Amino acid sequence: MISAPTLAMCPADQGLEVAFAGRSNAGKSSAINTLTQQKALARTSKTPGRTQLINFFAFGDDESRRLVDLPGYGFAKVPEKVKLEWQRHLAEYLQRRASLQGLVLVMDVRHPLSEFDEMMLGWADDKDMAVHILLTKADKLKPGAAKNSLLQVRKRLQEWEDLVSVQLFSALKRQGVEEAQARLDDWLSPQEN
């Protein structure tokens, strides 16, 4: 749909949307492409110069349901000033966006709960926003080790278990796809009342 550099330039705040975040190289683009069964939907966000934009994709036939690809951070390469500016835009988006139903936080199963992840969880907590964590690249670990990582992350976030759910995922092996899709469907279905 559109790539927006600031909250002011995002599409009208109507309908329902789910945002994806993850530090760069966590596997966010692969997860978005796998979950939407598209080969290169999220590739646009990797084009140089676009990496710091908030990218909106229509989910389904109209633009009232959206997936939002939030900029990942290649923290090391970004000057401090740019980093702070981006933290401000991200925080603003997460805190003010009324159509935002939930956040999918993508983490490499081998390196979960990075500084970036903790920052995102802090903002979600401030807003009482639901978060679904994908521990991706699960195929890189033996099943026992992957399970162990899952249990450890769940334990660390136990305090927020009403708002935070965690699962194993692999874009490569298509592991956990149905579980993640069910969560997206749930967030993007209009509530009956």
d(CA 193, CA 190): 9
Binding to ligand GDP (CB under 6 A) within 20-49 occurs at 22, 24-30
Amino acid identity of 138? Answer: A
| Residue 22 or 112 having the CB closest to ligand GDP | 22
Per-residue burial over 107-145, b = 16 or more CB atoms within 10 Å of its CB, e = otherwise? bbbeebebebbebbbebbeeeebbbbbbbbbbbebeeee
Query: Is 53 near ligand GDP (CB under 6 A)?
Result: no
Could you tell me whether strands 100-108 and 16-21 are parallel, antiparallel, or unpaired per DSSP bridges? parallel
In the complex, least distance from residue 95 CB atom to ligand GDP, rounded to whole angstroms: 23
CB of 46 to ligand GDP, least distance (A): 7
Name residues contacting ligand GDP, limited to 64-83 (CB under 6 A).
72
Nearer to ligand GDP by C-beta: 22 or 102? 22
CB of 29 vs ligand GDP, minimal distance in Å: 3
- Strand 2-4 vs strand 65-69: parallel, antiparallel, or unpaired? unpaired
Token pair 């290169």 is at which residue?
Answer: 40
Chain positions 145 to 174 lying near ligand GDP, rule: CB under 6 A, are 170-172
Binding residues for ligand GDP, rule CB under 6 A, total 16
What phi, psi does 133 have (nearest 5°)? -95, 125
Q: Pick between residue 34 and residue 101 the one whose CB is nearest to ligand GDP.
A: 34
Please, what is the angle between helix 177-188 and helix 28-36, to 10°? 80
Which residues sit at the interface with ligand GDP, rule CB under 6 A?
A: 22, 24-30, 72, 136-137, 139-140, 170-172
